[in-house]
Structure 1
Amino acid sequence: MPKILAGLIITFVCSSAYAQSWEVGARMGGAGYMGDLNTNNPIKLSGVSAGGFVKYNFNPYLSAKLGYTFGNINAADSLSSNQQFRDRNLSFSTNLHEASLTGEFNFLDYVPSVSKNVFTPFVFAGAGLVHYSPTTVYAGDRYDLRQLTTEGQGTPYSKMAVAIPYGAGIKYNFSGRLNLIADIGYRHVRTDFLDDVSGNYPDAAGLNNPLSRALSDRSGERTGVYLGTAGTQRGDNRRFDTYFFVGLSISYTFITPKCYY
């Protein structure tokens, strides 16, 4: 009985030692968003993304990941299939800088070069911060929309917002301790100004900057007929925007087995 108990303890310690491992990786892919200029296509890519991460694997199923991702999202009403959007004629581009801490759950026992499983699907969720600052091109020049308060805000909105990442993917141990990871992750972000569009058109007379007036209502740039009457709908009136990253990562897992007999 003591020998059996000792064997079970050694087995547990060895498996735990293998599971407790660090992992580093880099990723590249695409980025997209849903908001006031894209209201109904949750998989529309509009830019690129890239980043890196450090992960700690507590066991073959659970891990915590600290990551940074850069992405670009953009949209233009002029390219929409919706006539109402084309008439509105707004556009934006935003660079996203996201730092996040997420937890991952593997559906299968997965330790590269150790487990019998060479792949596993997984899900993840967590929290993060994203830096954003929408811009647009007008008369051949690019302008920072945040400072122009195009909806008549008393002060510019914050450049930082809380983001809630969640998503799913699949990992494949293609060689030794190297992993190929494909995933898609959405971000519920606590701002409605990723695209500088949120609610209603302001009273143009209250916008002291001529550039603010020009970029608040761009509907008449081609037709000469401006549609942005004060108080009428400019955005989709949803409280928050959403963005997502999709891509491929390559990571390396550091495994240091320490089993003493």
Structure 2
Amino acid sequence: MRNFKGKKNYFTKDKKYNSIGITLNALNYFGDLSPNSNVGSTDIGFTRPGIGVDFSHRFGPRYTLRASFLYGTIRGDDFESAEKGDSEAKYRYARNLSFRNRIKELTVVAVFDLFKNEASYISRVQWTPYTYIGATIFHHNPQAYVADDSGLPEAGTWVDLQPLGTEGQNADLEPTDANAGIEPYKLVQFAIPFGIGVRYRLNQVFDLSFEMGIRYTFTDYLDDVSQNYVDLGVFGDDDLARYLSDRSTNTSGAEGGSRNIEAEGFNTTTYQGRDGNNYTVVAGFGQEFRDNNRGNKDNNDVYFVTSIRVAYIIGATFTRAKFR
């Protein structure tokens, strides 16, 4: 007996199991239309809901592979978020851009539990912190609201921004232009999802989880904003694209609220566009010049997903021994 060490408790095939889950999510965004340029800056007031479903396979004492689908919305608005009294954010206020973007994503992640569970699903740990990382493919479609006082036929509606080429993607730009060579951005993109969470066992077959995650994307166009302004004359007869490219002189935010940009300390200027028409803009906005930045192309956009998940264990093969 003194040499008997007992049988090691391996995570055998009969202890593997699957689960399905539903999630309620809160989405936030960080990018060119955030309140300021600090990493993680986001306007909590623009938190938007999302919903998701997932399927998980538990294949080890700490390891789970999870595939999920999520649908949700992110929002940003200079007029609402930027603090016009702040030395940096006041220029975002003057820019006056806004957007919404409805995200549809497919994600696969590997989940790593902090507490090991070598038992069956019936005897799994009561609770455990975990982390995850994986890959995401998502479809996005940035839109802007056309203000009621715009005078355009689209006033009072949301319009898709990508087809408009608001940074000159569809225009015949000159080789010396700051945005020369710019191409339309893709609406299907990849991201790296990672985050942390905690899972709690409710009963034999239900788990409740809370997690916070980040989607690091490889695009700077979740908000349709990245590079420089272009000469407003390059849009030709497309008044909608011209209007949504530069909204610095608008007398309101996209969805209401009055603004008087000159009374708030900004100067306007009028120039002749390449189409021969005159355009009035806030100085430094809405005009071709290498220093007239519309966004910051050096940093990609990210979005945050905070989730509450309820999971139900299915297809378990383990059964308890029966005793008289």
Same fold (TM over 0.5): yes
CA RMSD of the aligned region, Å? 2.3
Tell me, yes or no, if the aligned pair for 1:112 and 1:118 is still in contact at 8 Å. Answer: no
Aligned AA (2:7): L
Instruction: Give the Cα separation in 2 of the matches to 1:49 and 1:42.
Output: 20
* TM-score normalised by structure 2 residue count: 0.73
Instruction: State the SS of the aligned residue for 1:113.
Output: helix
Paired positions, count: 254
Query: Using the alignment, how far apart are the partners of 1:136 and 1:61 within structure 2?
Result: 44
Quick check: 2:198–2:210 contact (8 Å CA) kept in 1? yes
Separation (CA, whole Å) in 1 of partners of 2:15 and 2:106: 25
Q: CA deviation at 1:140?
A: 1.4
1:194 equivalent among 213, 216, 222:
222
Q: Which residue in the other structure is 1:251 paired with?
A: 311
CA distance in 2, matches of 1:44, 1:109: 38
Between 1:104-113 and 1:69-78, the stretch displaced more is 104-113
Q: In structure 1, give the amino acid aligned to 2:298.
A: R
Query: How is 1:118-157 mapped onto 2 (pairs within 5 angstroms)?
Result: 118-138=126-146, 139-154=155-170, 155-157=183-185
Moved more, 247-256 or 217-226: 217-226
* Farther-moved stretch of structure 1 (158-167 vs 81-90): 81-90
Q: Which moved more, 1:251-260 or 1:78-87?
A: 251-260
What is aligned with 1:184?
A: 212
Query: 1 CA distance for matches of 2:13 and 2:199?
Result: 21
Shift in Å, 1:258: 6.5
State the alpha-carbon separation in 2 of the partners of residues 165 and 105 from structure 1. Answer: 14
Instruction: Give the whole-Å Cα distance in 1 for the aligned partners of 2:42 and 2:60.
Output: 32
Q: CA deviation at 1:27?
A: 0.2
Q: Using the alignment, how far apart are the partners of 1:206 and 1:43 within structure 2? A: 33
The equivalent position to 2:13 in structure 1, one of 1, 17, 40, is 17
Q: Is the 2:15–2:121 contact (alpha carbons within 8 Å) kept by the matching residues of 1?
A: no
Measured after TM superposition, the shift of residue 160 of structure 1 is: 0.6
SS of 2:12's equivalent? helix
Most deviating of 61-70 and 37-46: 37-46
Say which SS state the counterpart of residue 202 (structure 1) adopts. Answer: coil
Q: Can you give the 5+ residue segments of structure 2 that lack an aligned partner in the other structure?
A: 84-88, 147-154, 171-182, 252-259, 262-267, 269-280
Give aligned-pair identity as a percent.
28
Q: TM-score, normalised by structure 1?
A: 0.90
Name structure 1 gaps, 5 residues minimum: none
Aligned partner of 1:28 among 18, 24, 33: 24
AA aligned opposite 1:202: V
Q: How far, CA to CA, are the matches of 1:87 and 1:42 in structure 2? A: 19
* 2:122 aligned counterpart, secondary structure: coil
- Aligned with residue 237 of structure 1, among 297, 304, 308: 297
CA contact (8 A) 1:19 1:60 kept: no
Residue identity matched to 1:252 = Y
Change (3 A) 1:43 1:84: closer
Distance across 2 between alignment mates of 1:104 and 1:244: 18
Contact 1:112 1:179 in 2 (8 A): no
Does 2:159 match 1:98? no
More strand by proportion, 1 or 2?
1
Q: Deviation digits for residues 227-260 of structure 1, max 9, x if unmatched?
A: 2221311113333100111010000123211799
In the TM superposition, what whole-angstrom CA distance separates every residue of 1:207-228 from its partner, at most 9, and x where no partner exists?
2211111110000011474222
Deviates more, 1:205-214 or 1:168-177: 205-214
Q: Which residue of 1 aligns with 2:242?
A: 213
Q: Distance in 1 between matches of 2:193 and 2:297?
A: 22
Q: Structure 1 residues 50, 88: CA separation in 2 closer, same or farther (over 3 Å shift)?
A: same
1:35-74 equivalent positions in 2, closer than 5 A = 35-38=31-34, 39-40=37-38, 41-42=40-41, 44-45=43-44, 46-74=47-75
The residue that corresponds to 2:195 in the other structure is: 167
| CA distance in structure 1 between the partners assigned to 2:50 and 2:102 by the alignment | 10
The answer on whether the counterparts of 1:113 and 1:173 sit within 8 Å (CA) in structure 2 is: no
Which stretch of structure 1 is more off in the superposition, 155-164 or 222-231? Answer: 222-231
CA separation of 1:240/1:109 partners in 2, compared to 1, >3 Å: closer, same or farther?
A: same
Structure with bigger helix share is 1
The 1:24–1:44 alpha-carbon spacing in structure 2 relative to 1, beyond 3 Å, is farther
Report how far residue 104 of structure 1 moved. 0.5
- Change in 2 beyond 3 A, CA 1:118/1:186: same
Secondary structure of the 1:130 match is strand
